[in-house]
Amino acid sequence: MSRLTDANVALAREIIARYPKKKSALIPLVHLSQEQNGYVTEDAMRHVAELVDVTPAEVYGTASFYEMFRFEPTGKYLINICGTMSCALLGAHELMHHAEHTLGVKAGSTTPDGLITLQHAECQAACTEAPTLQVNYRHRYRVTADDFDHLVDDLRSGKLDSEIPPHGTLGRNRQHIPVDRAVGAVHPDDVTSGPVWLEVSPS
């Protein structure tokens, strides 16, 4: 079942309603499908296309532009090791070499048990804490070879389950705009006048 579940369709509609044009919800909805399925499936893209009223080719065209979307089964944990300058200056290549050795797979592949996918990554905005990596986009700083091995042990033992949700889940919480507080999205062409607070300033 890789179309969105009923619960996720409800969530999708809540997200779509926040945008003046439906297509703006495309990327958040593809995230949602990846959260549900662990990766982005063709059926899910078709479903997202229906929901935001575009063609599946448009969904694929947009989604395939972005690196976080994976189109094949991915480990429960995606480990991205940064290799850009600051991390490279402080041993990122060596860390990757070690990681490949520890996991027994090359960068770009998944461990045979399907638990961990290892990847090269670019700058993760933690340059002062080099070398860094991310597990499902949660940072680990100044990672030594030992740190890496401990991390893998902890992932395997489930010790980090509460801290690091499975691949695809972006946040452990979500924004919810309360109905009674929401201003609501209006199609841009249907707005003809300026905001009221510009007209009359409060006394």
Q: Which residues in the 44-83 window bind other proteins by CB under 8 A?
A: 45, 52, 54-69, 80, 83
User: How many chain residues interact with other proteins (CB under 8 A)?
Assistant: 89
- Choice between 8 and 134, CB closer to other proteins: 134
User: How is residue 166 written in tokens?
Assistant: 């499975």
Eight-state DSSP code of residue 137: T
Give Cβ neighbours of residue 105 (< 8 Å, ≥ 6 apart). Answer: 111, 112, 118
Interface of this chain with other proteins, residues 14 to 43, rule: CB under 8 A: 18-28, 30-31, 42
Residue with smaller CB distance to other proteins, 23 or 156? 23
Q: Can you tell me which of 6, 7, 72, 202 binds other proteins, judged by CB under 8 A?
A: 202
Q: Which is nearer to other proteins, 116 or 164 (CB)?
A: 164
Residue 109: CB minimum distance to other proteins, A: 19
* Residue of the chain from 9, 105, 115, 170 that contacts other proteins (CB under 8 A): 170
Nearest-angstrom CA–CA distance, 42 and 59: 10
Phi-psi region of 19 (alpha: psi -120 to 50; beta: other; left: phi over 0): beta
CB of 73 to other proteins, least distance (A): 16
Query: CA–CA separation, 47 vs 13, rounded Å?
Result: 12
> With contact defined as beta carbons under 8 Å apart, do 186 and 20 qualify?
yes
The b-or-e profile of 7-35 (16+ CB within 10 A means b, else e) is: ebbebbeebbeeeeebeebbbbbbbbbbb
Binding residues for other proteins restricted to 73-132, rule: CB under 8 A: 80, 83-86, 88-94, 97, 122-130
Whether the Cβ atoms of residue 127 and residue 40 lie closer than 8 Å to each other: no
Smallest gap from Cβ 19 to other proteins, in A, equals 7
| 166 lies in the binding site for other proteins (CB under 8 A) | no
Of 1-9, 103-111, 153-161, 192-200, the window that binds other proteins (rule: CB under 8 A) is 192-200
Contact 75, 88 (CB under 8 A): no
- Which residues ranging from 134 to 163 are in contact with other proteins (CB under 8 A)? 134, 136-139, 141-142
